[in-house]
Amino acid sequence: MTKKTWDQHSIKGELHRRGMTLTALAELHDMTPGHFSHVWKRPVRKAEQAIADFLGVAVEELFPARYPIRRSRILSSSNEALLKSQKAGSQADKAGASTDRRAA
């Protein structure tokens, strides 16, 4: 058996087949309907989880492109040495600038 591929229309269709709307789901979770309407365009973790819980499907299966949550590569620990070298260079620039001002 193959896994079902979920998209916006199949998710909404399954909600409606079970007698639920996004607005009603928002009210059940004390959220605004806007949270649920934005879920198709950008990550809204609480709304995604509420939909997944209602459907009984893992959130990773409903929104596979968004999970696992990826961290920014710029701030990862693998770039820590690069950041330290950049900060060290800026300290040298500041020290050089302050001595230049004293000389003038």
Q: Looking at residue 53, what is its pLDDT?
A: 96
Q: Looking at residue 65, what is its pLDDT?
A: 85
Listed residue (24, 65, 69) closest to 47, CA to CA: 24
Structure tokens of 30? 């004390």
Residues in the chain: 104
Tell me the per-residue pLDDT of 28-43, one tens digit each, with 9 for 90 and over: 999 999 989 999 999 9
Higher-confidence residue of 12 and 84: namely 12
Q: With beta carbons less than 8 A apart as the criterion, state whether 59 and 75 touch.
A: no
Higher-confidence residue of 67 and 52: namely 52
Q: Looking at residue 28, what is its pLDDT?
A: 94
Q: Looking at residue 4, what is its pLDDT?
A: 79
In this prediction the pTM is 0.64
